[in-house]
């Protein structure tokens, strides 16, 4: 997970406000300096936190505008809301096309690109398999599915069975696949809020939704935003701090959502090619890209692939990737060539037991 360094000392994720609030404070010692706007709340089954350093007056309804943006994404892509656009598509009969919103269309295009470039490691049609293992809306109480059940679920999954008509933005399906866009929707929501702030001429911001983040400009101290990457254990330690002035960052890990049965650990991250939880030693993946939707999708793809295959592909595509791998009960950092510049003047935690 990633979070702004400011939350380490003053605001934990658990203590985020569960209602929308708008607080404007003046920078200390500046009679006419920029204003710092903090907006936080809950949406899409998670929390969000936004900081804006405003050199000009922000709209009085900024919090409401942001809430509206997040609502639209949630109502479009939620798998928990039966009336969402995505849920309606999942109920759509085979070979029937439907026109979709610009937002859902964009996310499907991002998903298809990462699916293709990751050789299927990222596949939003994995939803039925996720449900089968008890990590979706359907609770299975830790029951381990049989191989026959897994094989059956695999026959009804595969992003290649999604039908897309570029000319009129129609989508359909060859088989009764069911999509789950949770691995990219939060990142897309971050991008939409960031795009709103830039449209409002508010270029200095940090936008975080459920741990996925995009920043631009400078923080309230006039410095690059300081972003902390969490150590993937139960202690909630800081693994790495990097300075970021422009870009998006997302992390995927296998250390928060899992269950154990008969001494075996089952991660919520499912390899769509096998229908089973990942079993390799890669604990978390952090990706830095231009847009958060891309970082979100790639973080999931790399976590599925494992550190060796992920590092090779990241270097091949010049993607900035930072991975934490379990080795001999310790954590080891592995990163791509494109990530190396972010480590200049950064901070690494030295004691990192793999728990």
Q: How far is CA 193 from CA 66, 92, 200, in A?
A: 6, 30, 11
Nearest Cα to Cα of residue 248 among 294, 197, 199, 313: 294
The token duo for 211 is 């741990």
Rg of the chain over Cα atoms, rounded to whole angstroms, equals 20
* Residue pair 225/243 in contact by the 8 Å Cβ criterion: yes
On whether the CB atoms of residues 296 and 144 are closer than 8 A, the answer is: no
Exposed / middle / buried, residue 261 (Cβ in 10 Å: 0-12, 13-18, 19+): exposed
pLDDT for 255? 60
**Where are the strands (E) in 217-346, listed by range?**
225-230, 238-244, 246-253, 258-261, 264-267, 270-271, 276-277, 282-289, 320-327, 330-335
Does residue 190 form part of some domain? no
In this structure, what DSSP letter does residue 79 have? S
Whether residue 158 is contained in a domain is answered as: yes
Residue 234 lies in a domain: no
Residue whose pair of structure tokens reads 């296998």 in the numeric block: 254
Q: Give backbone dihedrals phi and psi of 56, rounded to 5 degrees, phi first.
A: -135, 170
pTM: 0.86
Residue with tokens 């000009």: 56
Q: What's 161's domain CATH number?
A: 1.10.3980.10
Domain that residue 141 falls in: 88-181
Return per-residue pLDDT of the chain as tens, 355 residues. Answer: 665 654 333 333 333 322 333 333 333 334 457 899 999 999 999 999 999 999 999 999 999 999 999 999 999 999 889 999 999 999 999 999 999 999 999 999 999 999 999 999 999 998 888 888 877 666 666 678 899 999 998 998 999 999 999 888 899 999 999 999 999 999 999 999 999 999 999 999 999 999 999 999 999 999 999 999 988 876 668 889 999 999 999 999 876 665 666 666 667 788 999 988 888 889 999 999 999 999 999 999 999 999 999 999 999 999 999 999 988 888 899 999 999 999 875 555 443 434 4
Helix (H, G, I), strand (E, B) or coil at 112: helix
Structural contact between residues 313 and 329, judged by C-beta atoms closer than 8 angstroms: no
Per-position DSSP letters for 147-202, written without gaps between them: HHHHHHHHHT--GGGEEEETTTTEEEESS------HHHHHHHHHHHHHHHHHHTT-
How many structural domains compose the chain?
1
With respect to residue 98, please indicate whether it lies within any of the assigned structural domains.
yes
Those residues whose C-beta lies under 8 Å from the C-beta of residue 108, and which sit 6 or more positions away, are 100, 162, 164, 171
Q: Calculate the CA 355 to chain-centre distance.
A: 23
Structure tokens that stand for 115 in this block: 């699916």
Task: Please indicate, yes or no, if residue 328 is contained in any of the structural domains.
Answer: no
Torsion, Cα 213 185 36 10, to 10 degrees, reads: -60
Please indicate, yes or no, if residue 96 is contained in any of the structural domains.
Answer: yes
Q: Is residue 127 part of a domain?
A: yes
Asked, for residue 173, whether it belongs to a domain, the answer is yes
């Amino acid at each position: 997970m990633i979070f702004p360094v400011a939350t380490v000392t003053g605001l934990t994720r658990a203590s985020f406000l569960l209602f929308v609030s708008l607080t404007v404070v003046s920078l200390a010692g500046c009679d006419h300096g920029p204003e710092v706007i903090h907006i936080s709340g809950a949406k899409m089954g998670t929390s969000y936190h936004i900081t804006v350093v405003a050199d000009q007056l922000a709209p009085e309804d900024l919090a409401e505008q942001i809430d509206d943006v997040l609502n639209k994404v949630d109502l479009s892509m939620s798998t928990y809301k039966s009336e969402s656009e995505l849920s309606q598509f999942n109920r759509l009969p085979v070979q029937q096309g439907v026109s979709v919103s610009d937002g859902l269309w964009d996310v499907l295009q991002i998903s298809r690109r990462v699916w293709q470039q990751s050789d299927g490691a990222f596949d939003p049609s994995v939803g039925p398999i996720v449900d089968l293992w008890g990590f979706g809306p359907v609770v299975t109480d830790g029951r381990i599915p049989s191989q026959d059940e897994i094989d059956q679920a695999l026959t009804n999954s595969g992003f290649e069975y999604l039908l897309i008509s570029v000319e009129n933005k129609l989508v359909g399906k060859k088989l009764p696949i069911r999509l789950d866009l949770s691995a990219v929707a939060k990142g897309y929501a971050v991008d939409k809020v960031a795009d709103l702030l830039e449209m409002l001429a508010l270029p200095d911001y940090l936008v975080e939704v459920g741990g996925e983040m995009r920043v631009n400009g400078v923080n309230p101290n006039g410095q690059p935003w300081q972003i902390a990457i969490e150590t993937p254990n139960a202690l909630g330690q800081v693994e790495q701090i990097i300075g970021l002035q422009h870009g998006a960052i997302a992390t995927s890990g296998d250390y928060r959502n899992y269950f154990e049965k008969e001494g075996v650990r089952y991660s919520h991250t499912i390899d769509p090619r096998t229908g089973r939880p990942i079993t390799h030693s890669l604990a978390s993946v952090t990706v830095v890209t231009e847009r958060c939707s891309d970082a979100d999708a790639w973080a999931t793809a790399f976590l599925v692939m494992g550190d060796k295959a992920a590092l090779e592909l990241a270097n091949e595509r010049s993607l900035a990737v930072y991975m934490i791998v379990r080795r001999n009960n310790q954590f080891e950092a592995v990163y791509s060539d494109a990530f190396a510049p972010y480590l200049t003047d950064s901070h690494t935690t030295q004691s990192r037991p793999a728990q």
